Structure 1
Amino acid sequence: MNRTLSWERNILWLLTSALAAISLLIMGEEASAEQSLVATLDDIKPGIVAVGTYMPKRSPRAQFRGTGFAIGNGRLVVTNAHVLPESLQVERRERIAVFIKKNGRDSLYYAKEVAVDTSHDVAVLKLDKGSLTPLKLSGKDVREGELYAFTGYPIGMVLGLYPVTHRGIISAISPVAIPMINSSQLNAKVMKRLRAPYNVYQLDATAYPGNSGSPLYHLQTGEVIGIINKVFVKESKENVLSKPSGISYAIPIVHLRNLLKDKGLLQ
């Protein structure tokens, strides 16, 4: 009987030790990831901008529409196609612009559209003058369960030009065409996606409308693997802030690469 109890105690001790070791390993990996993200943010935040328009005699003069990030030589800025305005009030001197806090001051850069892919919701702007800190595009495969981060302006410039960072795993790699509950939800854009669906990254992280165009990147390297382009809305667009679904989507970076190549912009 004593030998049996002793054997059971040894097994229990071994199991407890193994669980403790696994817990310490996981905590160590999480701490390492957090430290990596801190360093990564210092490197990439100078290249993440708010995207919108600027009109000298409008109030407010700056109108925020989404987020973007610099690539290449620092003069190209990537965002979503749906972030850009359908038209500009040229007669009132309205122009596309990107905004960023630089050296503690709010800065503005005028830009123009140089490439757009509405099918994959990707757009590229080019700064008229100046340059920003570019982010690198990743060439690595993305797998479900991997942890990534995205940085942008979730509620526009209400919080000022201070980009906000969120983390989340790739919870699924699934077709962009999400099944509709009923026929009333079908429209021309949805029908087009149903005919030619492509995969997007689904995240278990909360994004908001202002996050459109935010880079989704590796915590350790800052290399971009996707572009945040939408959030799943549970009830209505009006409730997206008060009742977020916690489900967001990103366009794989391959579609940006293809657009850059087609337009001769690939560095």
Structure 2
Amino acid sequence: MNKRLNASRRALTGALIVALPVLANAQTAASSVPAASPATREVQALPSLAPLVESVKGAVVNVDVQAKASGGYGQGENPFFDRFFGGGEGRGQRREPIRQGSGSGFIVDGRGLVLTNNHVVEDAVSIRVRLDDGRSFDAEIVGRDPLTDVALIRLKGKVDNLPTVKLGDSDAVRVGDWVVAIGNPFGLASSVSSGILSARARDIHAGPYDDFLQTDAAINPGNSGGPLFNLKGEVVGINTAIVGGGTGIGFAVPSNLVKALMSQLEKDGSVTRAWLGIGIQDLTQDLAKAMQLPVNEGAIVSQVNDNSPAGKAGMRADDVIVAIDGQKVESGGQLTRRVALKKPGSTSTLDVFRDGKRQALKVQLGTRPDLEGRSVRQRRGDEETEQSSKARVGVSLSNVDPRIVERTGLRSSQGALVTDVLPGSPAEKAQLEAGMVVVEVDRKPVQNAEELAKIIRKAPAGSTLLLRVEVPGSGRYLRALHIP
């Protein structure tokens, strides 16, 4: 027993003798490395988003809304709420005379202009905007665009020393770049989340112009209308939608699209888009091979509407559009968005492949009709188009729907459709009837209902407007409309 104990002691002593030089060498090596300086430790520290947040959060606002429920969407009707929010932001299961809602926004102009989502302020009867510094203002709608879910509102009263942020270049943001979202999720003001840009050009089937940025920065009900920042403190998107039940999947309207709409929203209160009047589908590799085309990307014309701008230019079904005004067209959606941003009445050059040969077509673009039935006809304190024309001459108007053109055989998809005439009114005395389309005023073409309503509104009392109307299935006739 003692022999085994002594042997163990000798082995332990030998191990210590071997280990001591190793420990000593390690201590010597450690002591030879200089200690990190304060500057080095600061560089090695994790970066903070605090300076960025402090510089921009003052311009991010809460938007509290009271809105008419009866005239707008209930749950299950608004594509932005039903598909993505599941009834969030104050919209409940039951219709109420007045609903309460809240969202976010951001100040882009020292005059008090605030960008937000259309679905945040749609049908609003009162809007209250609260700033991060404690101030609050009543606000009014300047302009709305339901098809991109963008709205511009203005603060009322005395506004001074307002913090602002600017719109950046959303095309410059790369997948993987860091982004920061600030907003009012679940009523929790000035909440900040961060993440990366997950994808670009997402089509979530919310509208005809879907081109969303996707991010994994946390976005929740109440974030709608709030800004998505790059690390320069520039707004690259308006947070708009989330996938119900999804985690880390949010969508924002690109800032470059918002820039393209801003001037129209401020000036006109709505957005007027150009239109070709065609049905399209994406060109795929298989279709390109079957059609013996030298390209794999583009938009196939599946249908050309009668009397449409494209039809008048000689476009045919199965033409493949590969460029517009020198810009490459990669898909049908891209063509739709590019045409929409052009000015109605302007002329564009379309490069098309027909029977395997490339050629150029010049098309005078028309005005896109209200295909979805969501036309915005109200601007600031002005009366709606229908009400203004109805109040003065007793006629209600709407834009011409291409489906009506196809069904009734109208010669033109442009003009103002008469939807109602008051008995005993100047419109009735002029023999205007529901179903007629006003195509000219004083021998000048009328593009849409808004244009005709503006002419009626500005016409001097006692004057007479010479109208050319089209009666479906009959022909065109002149009418004299006296302005009281």
Q: TM-score of the superposition, structure 1-length normalised?
A: 0.65
Please say if residues 173 and 200 of structure 1, whose CA atoms lie closer than 8 Å, have aligned partners that are also in contact: yes
Unaligned runs of 5+ in 2: 1-41, 68-98, 268-484
Q: For the residues of structure 2 that align with 1:175 and 1:116, how far apart are their CA atoms?
A: 22
Q: CA deviation at 1:107?
A: 2.7
Determine the structure 2 residue equivalent to 1:109: 137
- CA distance, structure 2, for counterparts of residue 29 and residue 48 of structure 1: 32
Aligned match of 2:182: 151
Secondary structure of the equivalent of 1:120?
coil
Aligned to 1:100: 131
Match of 2:104 among 63, 67, 72: 67
Q: Quickly say closer, same or farther: Cα 1:30–1:154, change in 2 above 3 A.
A: farther
Q: 1:204 to 1:114 in 2, by over 3 A?
A: same
CA deviations over 1:198-237 (Å, ceiling 9, x no partner):
3211112221110001100112x21100010011112xxx
**Residues 35-89 of structure 1, C-alpha deviations (whole Å, 9 max, x = no match):** xx2112112111111001369xxxxxx954100100022510110000014142x
CA contact (8 A) 2:103 2:223 kept: yes
Judging changes above 3 Å, is the alpha-carbon distance between structure 1 residues 172 and 50 closer, same or farther for their aligned structure 2 residues? same
1:138 to 2:138 alignment: no
**Deviation beyond 4 Å, 4+ runs, structure 1:** 27-30
In the TM superposition, residue 29 of structure 1 has moved relative to its aligned partner by 9.0
Gaps of 5+ in 1: 1-26, 56-61, 89-94, 179-189, 235-243
Q: CA RMSD in A?
A: 2.5
The equivalent position to 1:124 in structure 2, one of 140, 149, 152, is 152
Equivalent position to 1:83, from 107, 120, 126: 120
Please state whether the residue corresponding to 1:210 is helix, strand or coil.
coil
Q: Is the 8 A contact 1:172 1:201 kept in 2?
A: yes
Q: 1:124 to 1:231 in 2, by over 3 A?
A: same
Q: Is the 8 A contact 2:180 2:195 kept in 1?
A: yes
**Pairing of 1:202-221 with structure 2 (within 5 A):** 202-219=214-231, 221=232
Q: Is the 8 A contact 2:202 2:214 kept in 1?
A: no
CA distance in 2, matches of 1:85, 1:263: 14
Given that residues 175 and 197 in structure 1 are in contact (C-alpha distance below 8 angstroms), is that contact kept between their aligned partners in structure 2? no
Q: 1 or 2 for the larger relative contact order (CA 8 Å, sep ≥6)?
A: 1
Cα separation, partners in 2 of 1:109 and 1:29, compared to 1, 3 Å: farther
CA distance in 2 between counterparts of 1:203 and 1:155 reads: 19
Percent identity, aligned pairs only, is 30
- CA gap 1:29/1:51 in 2 versus in 1, 3 angstroms: farther
CA contact (8 A) 2:66 2:124 kept: no
How many residues are matched?
192
Q: Is the 8 A contact 1:166 1:206 kept in 2?
A: yes
Rg larger in 1 or in 2? 2
Q: 1:213 & 1:30 partners in 2: Cα distance?
A: 34
Instruction: Decide which of 230, 243, 262 is 2:241's aligned counterpart.
Output: 230
The answer to which of 45-54 and 248-257 deviates more is 45-54
Alpha-carbon deviation of 1:139?
Answer: 2.8
Counterpart mapping for 1:33-52 below 5 A: 34=48, 37-52=49-64
Q: Kindly indicate whether residue 255 of structure 2 is the aligned counterpart of residue 249 of structure 1.
A: no
CA distance in 2, matches of 1:87, 1:152: 20
Output one character per residue of 1:175-194: Cα deviation in whole Å (capped at 9) or x when no partner: 3235xxxxxxxxxxx5xx3x
**2:30 is aligned with 1:31:** no
- What letter matches 2:257 in structure 1? H
CA distance in 2, matches of 1:126, 1:256: 16
Write the letter of the residue equivalent to 2:203. Answer: V
Q: Indicate yes or no: 2:194 matched with 1:167.
A: yes
Provide the rounded CA distance (Å) in 2 between the counterparts of 1:54 and 1:119: 22
Distance 1:29 1:118 in 2: 47
Distance 2:167 2:238 in 1: 11
Counterpart code for 2:256: V
Residue in structure 1 matched with residue 359 of structure 2 by the alignment: none
